[in-house]
Amino acid sequence: MGLFAEQLAELVAANARADAVLARILEAARKLQPSDRTGAVELLAVAEVIGRREQADHGHLLQVLAQADRVKAARGGTAAWVAGHLDVTDGRARNIAQSARRIGAIPELAEPLSSGAVGSGTVSILSRTAKAVHNTSRDTVTALTAALETAQSDGVAVAKKQVRVLEETLEPGTSEQIVARQRARSFLRVTELDDGLCRFEVLLDAARATVLRSAIDAQAADWIRQAQYDHAKPLPEDIRSTEQINAHALVRLAEVFLAAPEQVREAAFTPPMLFFTSTSTDDLWAETVYGGLVPRSHLVRLDESGMPVRLDGRPVDADSTTRLATHAQRIALAYRDRHCTYPGCARPTTWSLHAHHRIPHSRGGATVLGNLALLCSEHHTLAHRHGQ
């Protein structure tokens, strides 16, 4: 009998029991009625257990593959084995193998990786952190612990920015190299389908993606505003979903371009909604609302609490008595809040968000950043309805 034969048999049996339980749950779920709210809540609890189990299994996979890689278990390499046995793409297989090699064998990460509380985003951050500090004077465990704590306390997005800063600090010029590699990989592929539809596949670097996404968001947001506040019907009746609106907005951009005079088509275009967050005026990189790095636009200065206080050298809160937030305050709000601040809502800053007074202006509330918060139109209306 092999070294792991008994444990492997136990694992297979445990998986079979779990599969049987899930089969019974799914059978019952298919009979669930929309009016059964208790059952609906329990169904989400089941989904959470499955999701946590999946994340824990992935953590275990990385640890097992790390040991398999150490003993050279796969003749063609760990990545090739993963691609051939786990039904993933070559790129995904390489990422799994690299993560296993970089973090799977670190004892201090065994517990969090096995806990089910570490998702794929955090795994990617940990792998990048390990790569960044490899062969440097930085202590790997300390760097990984800090990255994990940031991801768990402040979220994956914040931890991702921290990794970018670390990479740039340890190897200046990394950001430029990343953008250069992104541009080299970018493409636009058009495929004509048999039913007459046309499929556009686009892969863009962060800078050019910001231009396109900002333009689409701005057009879509204007149509939504027209429908909500002007009671207009700017869109055809058959366009209802967000994806359909975005597709229509993309075509509208092309129509505007084609209808523009030649001299206008040749005019330079500056991507909107960019944030420059470095404290050094020599830094040439800006962070977009989508998290990418592009040539800088605005210089945002923060106070000790992290609140934006100056934009491009001028105070953000220039006049607290005005009824509406100024352009500078809206940019600062977009940098600070990043999306609608209503619990559970993630509509982005480009999606026609409103500057909401926490203390209403009619009750003496000042138009200053500390009294303002971004809300989408739906939740802005809800906030006023409940007197918030």
* Angle in degrees, 0-180, between the axes of helices 206-229 and 174-185, rounded to the nearest 10: 70
Q: What is the pLDDT of residue 312?
A: 81
DSSP tag of 276: B
Question: What 3-state DSSP class applies to 84?
Answer: helix
Q: What is the largest CA-CA distance in the chain?
A: 81
The letter for the amino acid at 122 is: T
- pLDDT, tens digit, 9 for 90 and up, residues 167-220: 878 877 776 777 788 889 999 998 888 887 889 999 998 888 988 999 999 999
Determine the Cα–Cα distance for residues 388 and 259; give it in Å rounded to an integer: 45
Band (pLDDT 50/70/90 cuts) for residue 269 is very low
CB-side neighbour CA atoms (13 Å) of 149: 7
Strand 300-302 vs strand 293-295: parallel, antiparallel, or unpaired? unpaired
- pLDDT, tens digit, 9 for 90 and up, residues 21-76: 999 999 999 999 999 999 999 999 999 999 999 999 999 999 999 999 999 999 88
Positive or negative: CA dihedral 203, 208, 213, 219 = negative
Residue 103 · residue 144 · CB < 8 Å: yes
Q: Which domains are present in the chain?
A: 32-109 (no CATH), 207-271 (no CATH), 274-385 (1.10.30)
pTM for this prediction: 0.62
The distance of Cα 261 from the centroid of its chain, to the nearest Å, equals 37
Determine the Cα–Cα distance for residues 40 and 23; give it in Å rounded to an integer: 17
Q: What is the pLDDT of residue 1?
A: 60
- pLDDT, tens digit, 9 for 90 and up, residues 146-169: 999 999 998 998 898 888 888 878
Band (pLDDT 50/70/90 cuts) for residue 270 is very low
Q: How far is CA 281 from CA 54, 145, 237, 284, in A?
A: 45, 31, 49, 8
303, with CB counted inside 10 A (0-12, 13-18, 19+), is exposed
Token pair, residue 185, equals 């990989």
What are phi and psi for residue 287, nearest 5 degrees? -105, 130
Mean pLDDT to the nearest integer, 343-365: 86
The distance of Cα 118 from the centroid of its chain, to the nearest Å, equals 16
Residue 349 · residue 289 · CB < 8 Å: yes
Query: Average pLDDT, whole number, for the chain?
Result: 86
